[in-house]
């Protein structure tokens, strides 16, 4: 019998991915600050996490790299795969098994292969391709849609699951500069990758009532992404999930 292939979204772009007999946590976020709110429940506390085989962190922004909360995780030898700016902070928090990847570099963790892919954001970032047990997952934290991502299908012709941000976050004090792909961008990426299933994330985020007026603005409705995919890639399957909802990906792909 094959190992489970499943996904549980904890909140925002923090997921538990079960693949190849391993459990992987992406972009940990388990707390809130004055201008950082998931805008949806945080479905699990750090103390309730299962045994992790790896933690993947795309970049050093609090809502993707909540190392203060992750201090509560007991196994400090769990493999962390990160972009370069995260490494020293992770080691300062006591994590001892930290691997830095640049785009198109790979590492192996048990039966998994984790490959970094390009990204563009407000700070240095990578995205990830996770392969195990004949399954392939593409995980984007909150990158823009950039030309470098067009190389993904050549390197990974079959992607079973894509996890994509969709809120098009903009920074008001920076003349509304866009720093995350929006629904239309993400739909275009779906058309390029042709994943078997796509799950949007990173859309409910809010800076709070005052922060949303003065600091950030974004599209909090994942339905706009669903509609965009119907226009540009009508054969693609999209699933909008709730925090805490465990999705059997093998079954979801067959529906």
| Alpha carbon distance 23, 20 (integer Å) | 8
Q: How do the pLDDT tens digits run along the chain, 255 residues long?
A: 678 999 999 999 999 999 999 999 999 999 999 999 999 999 999 999 999 999 999 999 999 999 999 999 999 999 999 999 999 999 999 999 999 999 999 999 999 999 999 999 999 999 999 999 999 999 999 999 999 999 999 999 999 999 999 999 999 999 999 999 999 999 999 999 999 999 999 999 999 999 999 999 999 999 999 999 999 999 999 999 999 999 999 877 665
* Domains of the chain, earliest start first: 6-250 (3.60.15.10)
Cα dihedral across residues 191, 196, 202, 204: positive or negative: positive
The tokens for 233 are: 């890639």
Tokens of 143: 């990158």
- Residue 2 is predicted with a pLDDT of 77
> CA-CA distance, 171 to 178, in Å (whole number)?
7
Q: What is the pLDDT of residue 253?
A: 62
**Alpha-carbon span 60 to 135, nearest angstrom:** 28
The single residue listed with the structure tokens 């950039």 is 146
Q: What is the pLDDT of residue 199?
A: 98
pTM comes to 0.97
User: How far is the C-alpha of 3 from the C-alpha of 5, rounded, in Å?
Assistant: 7
pLDDT of residue 226: 98
Residue carrying the six token digits 């990974």: 156
Mention every residue, 6+ apart, whose C-beta is less than 8 A from residue 149: 117, 118, 127, 143, 189, 192
């Amino acid at each position: 019998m094959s190992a489970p292939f499943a996904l549980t979204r904890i909140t925002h772009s923090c997921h538990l991915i079960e693949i190849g007999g391993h459990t992987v946590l992406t972009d940990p976020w388990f707390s809130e600050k004055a201008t950082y709110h998931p805008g949806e429940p945080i479905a699990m506390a750090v103390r309730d996490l299962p045994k992790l085989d790896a933690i993947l962190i795309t970049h050093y922004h609090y809502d993707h790299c909540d190392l203060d909360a992750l201090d509560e995780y007991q196994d400090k030898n769990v493999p962390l795969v990160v972009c370069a700016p995260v490494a020293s902070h992770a080691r300062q928090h006591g994590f001892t098994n930290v691997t830095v990847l640049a785009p198109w570099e790979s590492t192996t963790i048990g039966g998994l292969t984790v490959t970094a892919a390009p990204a563009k954001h407000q700070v240095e970032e990578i995205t990830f391709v996770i392969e195990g047990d004949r399954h392939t997952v593409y995980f984007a934290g909150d990158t823009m849609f950039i030309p470098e991502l067009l190389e993904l299908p050549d390197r990974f012709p079959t992607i079973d699951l894509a996890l994509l941000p969709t809120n098009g976050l903009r920074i008001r004090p920076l003349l509304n500069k866009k720093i995350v792909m929006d629904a239309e961008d993400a739909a275009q990426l779906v058309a390029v990758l042709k994943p078997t299933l796509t799950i949007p994330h990173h859309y409910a985020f809010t800076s709070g009532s005052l922060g949303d007026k003065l600091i950030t603005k974004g599209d909090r409705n994942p339905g706009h992404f669903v509609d965009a995919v119907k226009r540009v890639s009508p054969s693609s399957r999209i699933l909008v999930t709730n925090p805490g909802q465990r999705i059997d990906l093998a079954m979801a792909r067959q529906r």
